[in-house]
């Protein structure tokens, strides 16, 4: 459980900067068990993506439901309840594994799309795409502002193996195109997270990730949460309780 002092600090940091980092949410044994469950799963399914630079699993908790208990330990449940309330539910879950020699580089961007079960043309929802049988769409700003992301780090992560670079406060500026970033007024901050720690962030926070340069792996479980339903018979693709 977060103390009242730490609760206030983390809430204020998310509101002001768009992110916060909390250490020691998972023990070494808990991290090893999460990694084991992922690695022993049949990886031939459509939702598993392999390349020399990245291994990723979409709809992670649907694909590996045994992860649910390990991910939502008492610490994480308490953090979610204290920081956001008891009415939030899962709307997206992804696993990223950036190997030791990865040249995978991600430029500055915001997470502007949500995953839905099917396409239903709806006012305010635009830029429809479908990838690996999964529909994605950019929703109205108020839906993006409602979402919160928790990134669980299975490895020590720093600037040399892909810890996120972010622009503090950029989540409060609506849709902020990377090509319009004014570096005379914005500053970049790197967000190292130790194994067993979490980074909580708002999807509208501008973020990027550099190539790996220290031959160290970076494995992250990325889970998005919301507490509002979608309009016009649109449904979250991964709406799950935890």
Average pLDDT of every residue of the chain: 93
Task: Check pLDDT > 70 for residue 105.
Answer: yes
Please say whether the structural domain 4-226 has been given the CATH code 3.40.50.720: no
Non-local CB neighbours of 28 within 8 Å, separated by 6+ positions: 195, 196
d(CA 63, CA 41): 9
What's the pLDDT tens digit per position in 171-199?
999 999 999 999 999 999 999 999 999 99
What pLDDT, on a 0 to 100 scale, did the predictor assign at position 48? 66
Q: 77-111: string of b/e by CB count within 10 Å (b at 16+)?
A: eebbebbbeeebebbbbbbbbbbeebebeeebebb
**Could you give the maximum distance between any two Cα atoms of the chain, in Å?**
48
Of all residues in the chain, the percent with pLDDT exceeding 70 is 95
What pLDDT, on a 0 to 100 scale, did the predictor assign at position 49? 67
Q: From edge to edge, which strands make up the β-sheet containing 48-50?
A: 19-22, 198-201, 148-153, 218-226, 89-98, 55-58, 48-50
What pLDDT, on a 0 to 100 scale, did the predictor assign at position 104? 76
Bigger pLDDT: 205 vs 56: 205
What pLDDT, on a 0 to 100 scale, did the predictor assign at position 101? 72
Average pLDDT of the segment spanning 28-46: 88
Say how many CA atoms lie within 13 Å of 43 toward its Cβ: 11
What pLDDT, on a 0 to 100 scale, did the predictor assign at position 46? 65
84 band by pLDDT with thresholds 50, 70 and 90: very high
What pLDDT, on a 0 to 100 scale, did the predictor assign at position 211? 87
What pLDDT, on a 0 to 100 scale, did the predictor assign at position 54? 56
d(CA 205, CA 109): 8
Q: Which of 27-36, 97-106, 184-193, 208-217 has the lowest mean pLDDT?
A: 97-106
Average pLDDT of the segment spanning 83-90: 95
133 band by pLDDT with thresholds 50, 70 and 90: confident
d(CA 230, CA 91): 11
What's the pLDDT tens digit per position in 39-66?
888 776 666 666 655 578 899 999 999 9
Task: Check pLDDT > 90 for residue 154.
Answer: yes
Average pLDDT of the segment spanning 83-98: 94
Average pLDDT of the segment spanning 137-165: 97
């Amino acid at each position: 459980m977060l103390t009242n002092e730490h609760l206030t600090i983390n809430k204020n940091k998310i509101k002001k900067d768009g992110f916060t980092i909390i250490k020691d949410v998972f023990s070494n044994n808990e991290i090893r068990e999460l990694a084991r469950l992922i690695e022993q799963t049949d990886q031939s399914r459509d939702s598993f993506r392999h390349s020399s630079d990245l291994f990723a699993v979409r709809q992670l908790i649907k694909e590996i439901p045994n992860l649910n208990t390990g991910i939502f330990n008492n610490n994480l449940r308490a953090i979610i309840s204290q920081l956001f309330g008891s009415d939030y539910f899962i709307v997206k879950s992804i696993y990223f594994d950036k190997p030791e020699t990865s040249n995978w580089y991600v430029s500055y961007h915001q997470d502007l799309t949500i995953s839905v079960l099917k396409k239903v043309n709806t006012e305010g929802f635009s830029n429809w795409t479908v990838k690996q049988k999964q529909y994605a769409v950019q929703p109205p700003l108020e839906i993006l502002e409602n979402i919160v992301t928790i990134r669980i780090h299975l490895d020590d992560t720093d600037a040399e193996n892909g810890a996120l670079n972010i622009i503090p406060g950029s989540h409060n500026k609506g849709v902020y195109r990377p090509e319009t970033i004014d570096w005379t007024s914005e500053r970049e901050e790197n967000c190292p997270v130790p194994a067993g720690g979490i980074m909580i962030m708002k999807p509208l926070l501008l973020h990027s990730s550099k190539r790996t340069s220290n031959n160290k792996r970076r494995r992250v479980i990325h889970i998005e949460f919301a507490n509002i339903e979608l309009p016009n018979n649109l449904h979250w693709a991964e709406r799950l309780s935890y």
